[in-house]
Amino acid sequence: MGDRDSPPGSEAPTPADRPRVYGIALRRGLVLVVRTPSGTYLPGGLLRPGEDPIEGLRRRVREETGRTVSGATPLADAGADAGATPLADDAATDAADPGVAGGAGAGGAGAAAGAARGQGPEAAAGPAACFFTMRVREPRSLPSEPDHESHWIPVGDVLDELADGPSVTAVRLALRHDARPGPG
């Protein structure tokens, strides 16, 4: 069964089987989020079949916020703990993972692994989700998704407002990296 991104009769993955990408934009103590009827999320979502993750992130951010991504770095490359790679969602693993909200503990490589396991509004379970730190330019167009409203909210509020644990963990990792001293 196809979806709106694949032709009828194709063997393309269903939305629940496709990877997802999410961006974390930090600016002067604020984080960019998207509020929808189902909750507050980081901008991003499903990739189209065969779509490059950075291009997919640019498309999703433009659709949801009207903003343009001017730079994006995978969270692992942004200085997160070793082990931050895209992983398949697995509720049993999440429950035991110290890095996933509601898991057995907190911090370390488990947190990085948990950050890579994302759940967004489109899918409760599925394959990989990649988180990126990103820079955005203010809107030059209106979002194409009318039930999505983008907001810059204080870092202290974002951890309580986000609708899914993996996004909270990813934001914590991005904040930890953002607070590290630069080289030199």
Q: For residue 147, what pLDDT is reported?
A: 86
Residue range 18-71, pLDDT digits in tens: 899 999 999 999 999 999 999 999 999 999 999 999 999 999 999 999 999 999
Say if residue 76's pLDDT is above 50: yes
User: Which percentage of the chain shows pLDDT scores above 90?
Assistant: 47
- How far is the C-alpha of 126 from the C-alpha of 29, rounded, in Å? 32
Which residue range forms the structural domain that includes residue 58? 19-179
Confidence at 95, pLDDT banded by 50, 70, 90: very low
* pTM (predicted TM-score): 0.66
Q: Which residue has the higher pLDDT, 88 or 138?
A: 138
The domain spanning residue 136 has which CATH number? 3.90.79.10
Q: For residue 128, what pLDDT is reported?
A: 77
Report the DSSP beta bridge partners of residue 150: 34
Which amino acid would we find at residue 69?
A: V
Whether residue 85 lies inside any domain: the answer is: yes
Whether residue 148 lies inside any domain: the answer is: yes
Total domain count for the chain?
1
Whether residue 11 lies inside any domain: the answer is: no
Distances (CA, A) of 61 to 4, 112, 182: 19, 23, 28
Residue range 153-167, pLDDT digits in tens: 999 999 999 988 889
Which residues neighbour 25 within 8 Å (Cβ) at sequence distance 6 or greater? 31, 32, 43, 133, 134, 135, 136
Whether residue 45 lies inside any domain: the answer is: yes
Whether residue 105 lies inside any domain: the answer is: yes
Say if residue 6's pLDDT is above 80: no
Which residues neighbour 32 within 8 Å (Cβ) at sequence distance 6 or greater? 23, 24, 25, 42, 43, 65, 67, 136, 150, 151, 152
What count of other Cβ atoms lies within 10 Å of the Cβ of residue 102? Answer: 10
Average pLDDT, the chain: 72
Whether residue 4 lies inside any domain: the answer is: no
- How far is the C-alpha of 67 from the C-alpha of 43, rounded, in Å? 10
Q: For residue 11, what pLDDT is reported?
A: 56
Beta strand 30-36 with 26-27 is: antiparallel
Whether residue 26 lies inside any domain: the answer is: yes
Whether residue 130 lies inside any domain: the answer is: yes
Say if residue 179's pLDDT is above 50: yes
Q: Which residue has the higher pLDDT, 165 or 180?
A: 165
- Radius of gyration in angstroms for the set of CA atoms belonging to the chain, rounded to a whole number: 16
